[in-house]
Amino acid sequence: MKSGQIVYSKAGHDRRNVFIVVKTEILKDGEYAFLVDGKSRPLAKPKRKKYKHIQPTNTILDIADFARLTDSDVRKLLKPFSVDRNVQSLVDNAVQ
């Protein structure tokens, strides 16, 4: 997992949401990524999530300086990766 990588949440109340990794940490109880989406998780308060609860993508954004990035910028960067909730609901119901 790298800073700037686009990931999807696999577990929790934010399941299926798309995030950008802003930082990673390895602690004695596991590996963590700090995630932002510019809405529910702004840059000022990133979500700490274990790697096993994250689905990484191959997309890594070239963000040189997170300090100059705004929540609005984050939302704009994530927009192409967002999944429409209505479409996802239909897919989930069809699979069951």
Domain boundaries along the sequence of the chain: 5-95
Cβ pair 37, 20 in contact under 8 A: yes
Look at residue 15 and tell me whether its pLDDT is greater than 90.
no
The per-residue pLDDT for range 20-47, each reduced to its tens digit, is: 999 899 988 889 999 999 899 998 999 9
Rounded to 5°, the CA angle 43-60-29 comes to 65
| Architecture of the domain spanning 5-95 | Roll (2.30)
Number of alpha carbons in the 13 Å side-chain half-sphere of residue 12: 15
Q: What is the mean pLDDT of residues 39-57?
A: 92
